[in-house]
């Protein structure tokens, strides 16, 4: 259903505030470090000790006291009464040594290569100092974060992981949108529980049920005779806005029930995705206490034409020369699957010219 911009449609920014304005970060939970990937850190993490704790070999070789064998060469070798201790990369250096001589530097009982103090060695705290702040509160935990946290010996981490109840409304047996949104919620740092509901009464119970921090209803958000999600939300709680000045996704609705935010998104893939990215993902960030996600500016390889009065969500694909607009409302799946970002064209803008820079939000 296509509706023109009018006073009946709530501006996107106002809808976002109505949905997320009162949302507060959920309580932290402690998870094993391996389970923290993709979650949002509940607080800053400060290293508890130096890494490494002392002189450590950075290569395989012979541990030596550099002052005792410095200046050696093939023409002026230094004879040692016994071979120096052998160390592997990552092992602590024996007491009385401060450098690692490469294997070819010791031949037939003689040091035949020059070496300086601390050569081939990592010193105490060179990787991580005991007072280093490793991550800040609100950080999404990525693989490199786990690398440094594991190196410090950390076993668990406090994270915020909002739980969203994803309700699939309607009788269709083929539902590809709800699984997509559940995966995107996981990528944003949340967890999900899936519920299927058919009919107003079922949808009401699905919205009210469970212990999730927010509810996302997929499908049935329109104004047709078979669209029942908004009517169910009105019974279950409060509809704060139904009809957003956003394309695609004009039939999106926002509200609350049982003290938690509720977002109703259309069942069409590109409209559901646009509504989730514009409204759902910021809500998850608020619930998770995540740091603000920022767009990046990219050059457009083709122009974007937009209607005044609507926030246009345009899916884009990155390329070597910039980003290519793929389209918005009615975008077929074969094109939608190519998208790796969106551009939100503000309602007062008529679009962008080819060669102009625009802010792109990564999917």
pLDDT at 95 over 70: yes
Residues of the chain with CATH 3.40.980.10: 10-26+161-288
Residues of the chain with CATH 2.40.340.10: 296-362
pLDDT recorded at residue 170: 79
Tell me the average pLDDT across 160-174.
Answer: 88
Contact assessment for residue 140 and residue 187, using Cβ atoms and an 8 Å cutoff = no
pLDDT at 246 over 70: yes
Tell me the average pLDDT across 26-45.
Answer: 96
pLDDT recorded at residue 7: 46
pLDDT recorded at residue 22: 86
pLDDT in tens, 3-32: 433 447 999 999 999 999 989 999 999 999
> Which are the contacts of 356, defined by CB distance < 8 A and separation ≥ 6?
299, 300
pLDDT recorded at residue 2: 38
pLDDT recorded at residue 274: 97
The CB density around residue 176, as the number of other CB atoms within 10 Å, is 11
What integer best gives the mean pLDDT of the chain?
94
- Give 301's DSSP letter: S
Tell me the average pLDDT across 182-211.
Answer: 96
pLDDT recorded at residue 292: 85
pLDDT at 137 over 90: yes
- What's the gap between Cα 34 and its chain centre? 16
DSSP string, 250-295: TT-EEEEETTEEEEEE-SSHHHHHHHIIIIIHHHHHHHHTPPPP--
Encoded tokens for 314: 């345009």
pLDDT in tens, 284-332: 999 999 998 899 999 999 999 998 999 999 999 999 999 999 999 999 9
| Alpha-carbon gap, residue 126 to 151, rounded angstroms | 12
Q: Kindly indicate the confidence band of residue 173, based on its pLDDT and cuts at 50, 70 and 90.
A: low
DSSP string, 5-43: --TTSEEHHHHHHHHHTT--PPPPEEEEGGG-TT-EESS
Candidate CATH numbers 3.40.980.10, 3.40.50.2300, 3.40.1190.20, 3.30.1490.150; the one for domain 10-26+161-288: 3.40.980.10
144 compared with 293, residue with greater pLDDT:
144
Q: Kindly indicate the confidence band of residue 224, based on its pLDDT and cuts at 50, 70 and 90.
A: confident
| Alpha-carbon gap, residue 164 to 215, rounded angstroms | 5
Q: Kindly indicate the confidence band of residue 115, based on its pLDDT and cuts at 50, 70 and 90.
A: very high
Encoded tokens for 298: 């990219």
Q: Kindly indicate the confidence band of residue 266, based on its pLDDT and cuts at 50, 70 and 90.
A: very high
Candidate CATH numbers 2.100.10.30, 2.40.340.10, 1.10.287.10, 2.10.109.10; the one for domain 296-362: 2.40.340.10
To the question of pTM greater than 0.95 for the whole model, the response is no
pLDDT recorded at residue 43: 96
pLDDT recorded at residue 275: 97
């Amino acid at each position: 259903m296509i509706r023109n911009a009018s006073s009946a449609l709530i501006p996107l920014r106002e809808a976002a505030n109505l949905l997320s304005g009162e949302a507060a970060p959920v309580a932290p939970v402690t998870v094993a470090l391996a389970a923290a990937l993709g979650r949002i850190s509940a607080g800053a993490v400060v290293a508890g000790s130096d890494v490494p704790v002392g002189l450590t070999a950075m290569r395989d070789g012979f541990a030596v006291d550099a002052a005792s064998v410095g200046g050696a060469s093939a023409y002026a070798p230094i004879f040692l009464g016994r071979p120096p201790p052998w160390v592997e990369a990552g092992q602590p250096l024996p007491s009385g040594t401060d450098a690692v001589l490469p294997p070819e530097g010791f031949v037939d009982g003689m040091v035949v290569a020059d070496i300086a103090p601390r050569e081939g060695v990592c010193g105490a705290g060179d990787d991580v100092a005991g007072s280093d702040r490793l991550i800040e509160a609100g950080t999404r935990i990525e693989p490199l974060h786990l690398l440094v946290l594991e190196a410090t010996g950390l076993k668990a981490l406090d994270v915020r992981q909002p739980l969203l109840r994803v309700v699939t409304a309607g009788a269709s047996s083929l539902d590809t949108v709800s699984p997509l949104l559940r995966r995107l919620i996981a990528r944003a740092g949340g967890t999900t529980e899936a519920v299927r509901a058919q009919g107003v009464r079922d949808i009401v119970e699905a919205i009210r049920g469970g212990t999730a921090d927010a509810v996302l209803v997929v499908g049935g958000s329109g104004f047709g005779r078979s669209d029942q999600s908004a009517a169910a939300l009105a019974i279950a709680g409060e509809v704060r806005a139904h009809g957003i000045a956003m394309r695609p996704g004009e039939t999106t609705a926002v509200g609350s029930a049982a003290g938690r935010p509720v977002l109703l998104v259309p069942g069409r893939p590109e409209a559901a995705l646009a509504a989730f990215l514009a409204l759902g993902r910021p809500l998850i960030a608020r619930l998770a206490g995540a740091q603000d996600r920022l767009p990046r500016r990219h050059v457009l390889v083709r122009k974007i034409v937009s209607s005044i009065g609507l926030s246009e969500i345009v899916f884009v694909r990155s390329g070597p020369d910039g980003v290519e607009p793929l389209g918005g409302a009615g975008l077929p799946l074969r094109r939608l699957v190519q998208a790796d970002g969106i551009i939100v064209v503000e309602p007062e803008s008529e679009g962008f010219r080819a060669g102009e820079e625009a802010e792109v939000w990564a999917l």
